[in-house]
Structure 1
Amino acid sequence: MGSLDLSGRVALVTGATSGIGAATAALMAERGAHVLVAGRDRSRGETVVAGIRGQGGKADFVAADLRTEQSVRQLAREAVGLGGGRVDILVNNAGVFPFGPTEQVSPNDVDTVYDLNVKAPFRLVAALAPAMAERGYGAVVNVSTMVAEYGVAGMALYGSSKAALNLLTKAWAAEFGPRGVRVNAVEPGPTRTEGTSGMGEDLDALAAQAPAGRPAAPQEIAEAIAYLASDAASFVHGAVLPVDGGRTAV
């Protein structure tokens, strides 16, 4: 049987300075991984790292601005350096989720959403997965969303970007899976994080539509991500796992 233990693994988690990313970083470190906490805000990143180290875990902060190809390549290089020459697990969690009517979306918003939600994961996989394949081992987990599965007014831009990520997950599973690299995704439902705090009652209203009837805690999403990254999921390739309280099941 595969194990949830991540001892000896180097895990790069993007968008790891808060919310789901921070919870994932903490859980993976708790399970033995050396976690590279990537994000734009150094002070928040160092706080996450300090919390992990305070619990006896191993973590380092790595600055990451994922909006350009050059910055993504730099992140990949620095992560490999901090990881002692390798990255075993990549969690593509960083992303943005502006909502609003299609006609009110600016061209800049379109570029920003696709740069962060689609191009950045694409570039990171291109930079890191080939070396995983050469070693014959690796795991990539992409963080998508339940609204990549069905249409929601005001979420066309965000939902479509994550629908692209879902297809990339399956294509990468076909491409890298034969060489030992498993690629999967999770689709969170409404989750109570710093990033969604501004949604107020709208978050609860969205969550109320699902069987669970409540928003998720970040740690609940992190558990699914850590599972897919571990040997416990050794026969799971190209899966897009809903972690949405049952919303897309009904």
Structure 2
Amino acid sequence: MGFGDPVEASLFDLTGQVALVTGGSRGIGRAIALRMAQHGARVVVSSRKVEACQTVVEEILAAGGEAVAQACNIGRKEDLGALVEAALSRWGRIDAAVCNAAVNPHFGPSATLPDEAFDKIMGSNVRSNFWLANMVAPGMAERGGGSIIVVSSIAGLRGSPVLGAYGISKAADMQLVRNLAVEWGPRNIRANCIAPGLVRTDFARALWEDPAILRKRTRDTPLQRIGEPDEIAGAAVFLASAAGRFMTGQTIVIDGGVLAGSPSVGEE
């Protein structure tokens, strides 16, 4: 095959697909929505504030893509059901579901974490993804397959003195996609996680705006910087496209090399 072969050119093409993105109004979710639209997908952009979603939709429309906005609080099962129904009513299918929305109401030691905050973290970061996956999977199976993508975090792969419960929820997401992969693989549905490191988003602002934390993370990251939202989006395009059709049950780490090890030696 030559580089100009149409099969090669279409490897990352999402034309004809419908992608649903939670937490799609800003940060990583926004970048995923924009890039999926750029690759041809029709995108349902969702978050709690529909006005913020509409701003992203307008960007997609201005670039010649197709998108709609839908308000959704992921902690409410009825909202997720309405989100799925909105996508099906508009386009009749969901090919890729990106579970990106998450919460972290507590920044500090786990010993000081209130029970209600723990419940909120687990409900929004794990149970909502479980709900949404089980809502979209049957329709995907009927249409011959699909892709479920959960945005996790390297917090689910390492301990933290300030993000303990959040890390627990993100580790649970990695197990969730393994279960989904096993349960739905025979119906050609793939389920995978993306685990970003520290990325310059509003969600992670408490980390990268703290000079001491930013200095340490930059020093201990082989690429010597934190990530940008758009640097995560390509993995979602890969997982939704033909390029990722043999990958399931996996976690793709995109962290600038943090988990590989620190380039600094004995520095404080």
Query: TM-score category by the smaller chain?
Result: over 0.9
For the Cα contact (< 8 Å) 1:182–1:237, is it kept in 2? yes
- 1:96 lines up with 2:107 in the alignment: no
Partner in structure 2 of residue 86 of structure 1: 93
How far, CA to CA, are the matches of 1:125 and 1:178 in structure 2? 16
Contact persistence 1:17–1:45 (CA under 8 A): yes
Provide the TM-score with structure 2 as the length reference. 0.89
Identity %: 37
Aligned mate of 2:153, from 141, 145, 152: 145
Residue 168 of structure 2 corresponds to 160
Give, in whole Å, the separation in 1 of the partners of 2:239 and 2:218: 24
Aligned match of 2:76:
68
TM-aligned CA deviation for residue 68 of structure 1: 2.0
Which is greater in Rg? 2
Match of 1:234 in 2: 245
CA deviations on 1:145-193 (whole Å, 9 max, x unpaired) are 0110111112110000010000011111111111111111110000001
- Counterpart for residue 19 of structure 2: 11
In the TM superposition, 1:32-71 aligns within 5 A as 32-71=40-79
Instruction: Give the superposition deviation at 1:207.
Output: 4.0
After TM superposition, the structure 1 stretch with the greater mean CA deviation from structure 2, 174-183 or 157-166, is: 174-183
Which of 127, 130, 139 in structure 2 is aligned with 1:119? Answer: 127
2:178 is the alignment partner of 1:170? yes
Structure 2 unaligned regions, length at least 5: 1-7, 262-268
- The C-alpha deviation readout for 1:202-230, integer Å capped at 9, x for no partner, is 24532432211211110000111111111
**1:205 aligns to 2:205 (yes or no):** no
Query: Separation in 2 of the partners of 1:91 and 1:228?
Result: 10
Relative distance call for 1:78 and 1:204 in structure 2 (3 A) is farther
1:204, 1:215 within 8 Å by CA — same for their partners in 2? Answer: no
**Larger CA deviation: 90-99 vs 5-14:** 90-99
Q: Which has the higher contact order (CA 8 A, sep 6+)?
A: 1
Q: Which runs of 5+ in 1 are unaligned?
A: none
